[in-house]
Amino acid sequence: MKRIAESTVRRLSLYLRFLEEFEARGQVTVSSEELAQQGGTTSAQVRKDLSFFGSFGKRGLGYSVPELASQLREILGLGRKWRVVVVGAGKIGAALVQYRGFRQRGFDVVAVYDNDPRVIGHKWNGLVVRDVRGFGTDEVQRPDIAVVAVPAEQAQAVADLVVRHGVKAILNFASAPLTVPDDVAVKTVNMAMELETLSYSLVNRDVESDDD
Amino acid sequence: MKRIAESTVRRLSLYLRFLEEFEARGQVTVSSEELAQQGGTTSAQVRKDLSFFGSFGKRGLGYSVPELASQLREILGLGRKWRVVVVGAGKIGAALVQYRGFRQRGFDVVAVYDNDPRVIGHKWNGLVVRDVRGFGTDEVQRPDIAVVAVPAEQAQAVADLVVRHGVKAILNFASAPLTVPDDVAVKTVNMAMELETLSYSLVNRDVESDDD
């Protein structure tokens, strides 16, 4: 399989969302034009995105909604449960844990960790906060994904810890880039930086979007 | 000025973060190599990114940390206060409002709106929740940025409302793309989609990152 750009993967996520809406409304087939219109892209782009993963749909008949949805779920790794742990029992972590969309997509938050003795052992969104120093040696089964929601200056140490214990994917909310081995995927979400792209666009009305 | 890619703007945000750390430690000059190392990029990329905005630094002497930081703040539109409103008094909105980093960067959350009579009029993170139907006609001064943190099916209506009242930048947390006029900047953050790029990379170990 060819290497796929992250922007393609994001569009596949978006197509899946539309397909699920179509499914809920009982629509049986969909054209690349409809998907393109919903996703703010072109039908050529839709066909190109899907072609990376084989041949879907029939010329003139469009795509079968349930079939394409199910194939996209498989491509995106959504056909199974993913074990997620949150490191950092703060506001960001709380918003994530309480976010319905995660569980619906198969992302189960199975544990939360912190290093603050004032919160360790306490209930937090239905979970008991664990001591981060026990990560990897306590009875929690190895997670697939770790959410790093700690202050920037602690983020690399947390990344090192979870990587040492075999975690291969990190969702990083700390405003610090993480250095990890090549076989570990990191996705950084920085809220202040998202707002800064907006303030930039307000003072410089010439920004060109290249990632959505 | 040339059109600048959003990925460049994001790197400028990142450079600014490092410069502020250097400032805090009293470091006076910095080389493009140091900035590149911190940002996980190359010194050529750093020089190219900064060259869009004029000439900084002196050959062989590097950049003045306070000078470059101050210039980047200006480029990013951080030299002033931005009035931010949150539409949707839920968990995501709460995490944002309580996020220290925003205020430090000049993003002031001045009002919160909802359409639920059970929360309108109640205190929420130090603000009183306003009725969204009053948006633009109440005594709240026009915001610069609106954060859309409502369910997907309500997001477009909220976007239409704030755009009609002159808002030119939207941070969108709804899992729906928004259609807005060309002069309005939209930045969409979708938590489930961030996780999906990770689950994709766990099942397909060949994803190529193209946006960070």
Q: Mean pLDDT across the stretch B15-20? A: 88
- Among A75-84, B5-14, B43-52, which is the least confidently predicted range? B5-14
Q: Is residue B133 part of a domain?
A: yes
Both A29 and A104 in one domain: the answer is: no
Both A65 and A103 in one domain: the answer is: no
Helix B6-24 crosses helix B43-51 at what angle (to 10 degrees)? 110
ipTM for the predicted complex? 0.79
Question: What average pLDDT is seen over chain A?
Answer: 86
Q: Which DSSP helix (H) or strand (E) runs through B185?
A: strand B185-188
Question: What average pLDDT is seen over chain B?
Answer: 86
Cβ neighbours for B203, distance < 8 A, ≥ 6 positions apart: A75, A76, A77
Both A70 and A102 in one domain: the answer is: no
Q: Which of B45, B75, B105 is the last residue of a domain?
A: B75
Q: Is residue B198 part of a domain?
A: no
pTM (global) more than 0.90: no
Pull the structure tokens for residue B52. 């869009």
Pull the structure tokens for residue B160. 């239409």
Both A55 and A86 in one domain: the answer is: no
* pLDDT at residue number A55: 66
CATH number where A119 lies: 3.40.50.720
pLDDT at A211 over 50: no
- Chain A residues 45-74 with a CB less than 8 Å from chain B: none
Nearest to B39 among A82, A95, A177 (CB): A177
Q: Is residue B202 part of a domain?
A: no
Where in the sequence is the domain holding B49, given as residue range(s)?
A: 6-75
- Among A127-136, A145-154, A175-184, B158-167, which is the least confidently predicted range? A175-184
Tens digit of pLDDT for each residue in B138-150? 999 999 999 999 9
pLDDT at B208 over 70: no
In percent, the amount of chain B with pLDDT more than 90 equals 39
Q: Is residue A157 part of a domain?
A: yes
Task: Tally Cβ neighbours within 10 Å of residue B150.
Answer: 27
* pLDDT at residue number B193: 79
Cβ contact, residue pair A196, B4, below 8 Å: no
In percent, the amount of chain A with pLDDT more than 70 equals 92
Both B99 and B158 in one domain: the answer is: yes
Both B71 and B87 in one domain: the answer is: no
**What is the C-alpha to C-alpha distance for residues A183 and A163, in angstroms, rounded to an integer?**
10
**What is the C-alpha to C-alpha distance for residues B143 and B113, in angstroms, rounded to an integer?**
12
Both A108 and A166 in one domain: the answer is: yes
In percent, the amount of chain B with pLDDT more than 70 equals 92
Both A88 and A183 in one domain: the answer is: yes
Name the residue with higher pLDDT: B63 or B61: B63
Nearest-CA neighbor of A188 among B90, B34, B14, B5? B14
Nearest-CA neighbor of A100 among B91, B163, B200? B91
Q: Is residue A211 part of a domain?
A: no
Nearest-CA neighbor of A167 among A149, A138, A191, A147? A147
Cβ contact, residue pair B197, A179, below 8 Å: no
pLDDT at A135 over 90: yes
Cβ contact, residue pair A145, B198, below 8 Å: yes
Name the residue with higher pLDDT: B119 or B205: B119
* Alpha carbon of A139: minimum distance to chain B alpha carbons (Å): 23
Both B156 and B116 in one domain: the answer is: yes
Query: At A57, is the pLDDT very low, low, confident or very high (cuts 50, 70, 90)?
Result: low
Give the bridge partners for A108, in sequence order: A83
Tens digit of pLDDT for each residue in B122-176? 999 889 999 999 999 999 999 999 999 998 889 999 999 999 999 999 999 887 7
Spell out which residues of chain A touch residue B3, defining contact as CB-CB under 8 Å.
206-208
* pLDDT at residue number A161: 97
Q: How many Å is the maximal CA-CA distance in chain B?
A: 63
Q: Is residue A39 part of a domain?
A: yes
Cβ neighbours for B89, distance < 8 A, ≥ 6 positions apart: B112, B113, B114, B116, B119, B124, B129
Spell out which residues of chain B touch residue A198, defining contact as CB-CB under 8 Å.
145, 169-171, 185, 187
CB of B15 within 8 A of CB of A203?
no
* pLDDT at residue number B61: 77
* Alpha carbon of B10: minimum distance to chain A alpha carbons (Å): 7
User: How far, in whole angstroms, is CA A173 from its chain's centroid?
Assistant: 12
Give the chain A residue whose CA is nearest to the CA of B201: A185
Pull the structure tokens for residue A22. 């179509």
* Alpha carbon of B187: minimum distance to chain A alpha carbons (Å): 7
Cβ contact, residue pair A204, B75, below 8 Å: yes
Q: Is residue B200 part of a domain?
A: no
Tens digit of pLDDT for each residue in A95-119? 777 777 777 788 899 999 999 999 9
Q: Which of B28, B48, B75 is the last residue of a domain?
A: B75
Cβ contact, residue pair B39, A194, below 8 Å: no
pLDDT at A52 over 90: no
Tens digit of pLDDT for each residue in B98-122? 777 777 788 899 999 999 999 999 9
User: In this complex, how many residue pairs, one in chain A and one in chain B, have their CB atoms less than 8 Å apart?
Assistant: 227
Q: Mean pLDDT across the stretch A84-91? A: 90
Nearest to A82 among B2, B199, B206 (CB): B199
* pLDDT at residue number A138: 94
Q: Is residue B97 part of a domain?
A: yes
**What is the C-alpha to C-alpha distance for residues B91 and B113, in angstroms, rounded to an integer?**
13
* Alpha carbon of A27: minimum distance to chain B alpha carbons (Å): 18
Both B51 and B132 in one domain: the answer is: no
Query: At A158, is the pLDDT very low, low, confident or very high (cuts 50, 70, 90)?
Result: very high
Both A52 and A89 in one domain: the answer is: no
* pLDDT at residue number B212: 40
Cβ neighbours for B125, distance < 8 A, ≥ 6 positions apart: B94, B97, B98, B112
Q: How many domains does chain B have?
A: 2
Give the chain A residue whose CA is nearest to the CA of B103: A192
- Chain B residues 139-178 with a CB less than 8 Å from chain A: 144-145, 168-171, 175-177
